[in-house]
């Protein structure tokens, strides 16, 4: 028997210790991102940020909270549309609960399939859906998000392209417009093709695909969600005019994409670093204060609310239901459907 090659030994080692290696990689990425933020704020002291926070206009914070609420309200419709695509009917409150708890967890903790996916699984299997249905919902909701952010980014780059500087990298107006046109053409092609193929089969797994009208609804819902989410940060950043929002959204979209690819928990550090690079004209202390407040408004407060809801549902809410009958999966599903 031949001795394993170095590549085979490395592959086997990675397979055996995948969880540890994944955690280590996430810690390294997060540490590097936070170090990048530290370097970008090298001339800003904590007392500067505290002063900026103390003098922050309360009206801007209230506006960010309202926009955050609107974004999460639109976000709940992801699951409503995904349920329509896979042909399952559940009350809006069930879809909203699954969507809200799932996204608040994945926004803050990263590893969306593990964190947000588990929240969806608990809610939907209790309502009578199968694990395969949950996977199809997640796939369609993911497509909805990326369609929306690509559409808004494409519109912004075509309608108002402005040079975007990220450290040593400068993306000029011409390349931005070309990329925007390519994104919009790709989205238009997807919409036109929608309805021709009703399902996609891959590795023995079947994914129902949306029709043309549902695909348009998915894009519009995602545009509302992402647009409101970016506006929640925009209103917190001082010195920006609404006429510059399309250019701001290009930087925001890039920050979201890079943070998602990094898999850092909540994109922390990565998202902030890209925004700091994309807005060099804004006072560093004021921008750091705005980013901290955005983390609080869009990430931490919804997470606290979702944790409260989940704790009630798993604790007091379930305990009260159990006095009448055991909370079996099928019985919960029938009760929700009757309501």
Higher pLDDT pick, 221 / 21: 221
CA–CA gap between residue 210 and residue 238 (Å, rounded): 41
Instruction: Tell me the pLDDT tens digit for each residue of 90-113.
Output: 999 999 999 999 888 888 876 665
Residue with tokens 């694990």: 131
Contact at 8 Å (CB) between 199 and 208? yes
Distance CA(186)–CA(147), nearest Å, equals: 10
Q: Is the pLDDT of residue 45 over 70?
A: no
| Dist CA 276 CA 38 (whole Å) | 11
Cα radius of gyration (the chain): 22
pLDDT above 90: residue 263: no
* Whether the predicted pLDDT of 334 surpasses 70: no
**C-alpha–C-alpha distance, residues 63 and 260, integer Å:** 26
Does 15 score more than 80 pLDDT? Answer: no
User: What pLDDT was estimated at residue 12?
Assistant: 59
Q: What is the pLDDT of residue 34?
A: 56
Domain ranges in the chain are: 58-338
- pTM score of the predicted model: 0.78
Q: Could you report how far apart the first and last alpha carbons of the chain are, in Å?
A: 64
The Cα 86–Cα 207 span in angstroms is 8
Average pLDDT over residues 165-184: 78
Instruction: Work out the average pLDDT over 208-216.
Output: 83
Q: SS3 sequence, 64-133?
A: HHHHHHHHHHHHHHHHHHHHHHHCCCCCHHHHHHHHHHHHHHHHHHCCCCCHHHHHHHHHHHHCCCCHHH
Nearest by Cα to 274 from 257, 290, 292: 257
pLDDT at 252 over 50: yes
Q: Give the DSSP H or E segment for 165.
A: strand 164-166
**CA–CA distance, 233 with 271 (Å, rounded to integer):** 12
Look at residue 6 in the predicted model and tell me its pLDDT. Answer: 53
- Give the C-alpha separation, 85 to 102, whole Å: 19
* Interior angle at CA 187, CA 183 and CA 191, nearest 5: 170
Query: What does pLDDT average to over the chain?
Result: 78
């Amino acid at each position: 028997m031949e001795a394993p090659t170095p590549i085979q030994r490395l592959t086997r080692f990675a397979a055996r210790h995948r969880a540890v290696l994944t955690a280590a990689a996430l810690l390294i990425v997060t540490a590097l991102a936070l170090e990048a933020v530290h370097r970008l704020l090298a001339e800003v002291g904590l007392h500067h940020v505290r002063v900026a926070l103390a003098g922050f206009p309360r009206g801007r914070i209230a506006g960010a909270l309202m926009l955050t609420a609107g974004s999460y309200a639109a976000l709940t419709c992801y699951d409503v549309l995904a349920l329509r695509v896979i042909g399952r009917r559940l009350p809006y409150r069930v879809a909203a609960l699954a969507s809200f708890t799932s996204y608040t967890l994945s926004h803050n903790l990263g590893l969306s399939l593990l964190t947000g996916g588990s929240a969806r699984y608990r809610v939907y299997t209790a309502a009578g859906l199968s694990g395969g249905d949950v996977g199809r919902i997640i796939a369609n909701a993911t497509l909805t998000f990326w369609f929306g952010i690509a559409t808004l980014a494409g519109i912004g780059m075509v309608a108002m392209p402005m040079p975007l500087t990220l450290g040593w990298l400068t993306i000029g107006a011409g390349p931005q417009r070309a990329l925007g046109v390519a994104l919009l053409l790709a989205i238009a092609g997807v919409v036109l093709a929608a309805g021709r193929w009703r399902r996609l089969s891959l590795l023995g797994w079947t994914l129902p695909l949306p029709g043309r009208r549902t695909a348009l609804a998915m894009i519009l819902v995602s545009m509302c969600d992402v647009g409101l989410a970016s506006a929640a940060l925009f209103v917190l950043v001082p010195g920006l005019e609404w006429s510059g929002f399309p250019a701001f959204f290009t930087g925001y979209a890039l920050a979201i994409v890079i943070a998602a690819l990094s898999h850092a928990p909540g994109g922390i550090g990565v998202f902030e670093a890209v925004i700091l690079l994309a807005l060099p004209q804004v006072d560093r202390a004021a921008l750091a204060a705005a980013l901290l407040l955005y983390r609080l408004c869009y990430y931490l407060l919804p997470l606290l609310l979702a944790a409260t809801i989940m704790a009630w549902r798993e604790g007091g809410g379930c305990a009260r239901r159990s006095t009448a009958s055991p909370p079996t999966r099928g019985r919960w599903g029938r009760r929700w459907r009757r309501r």
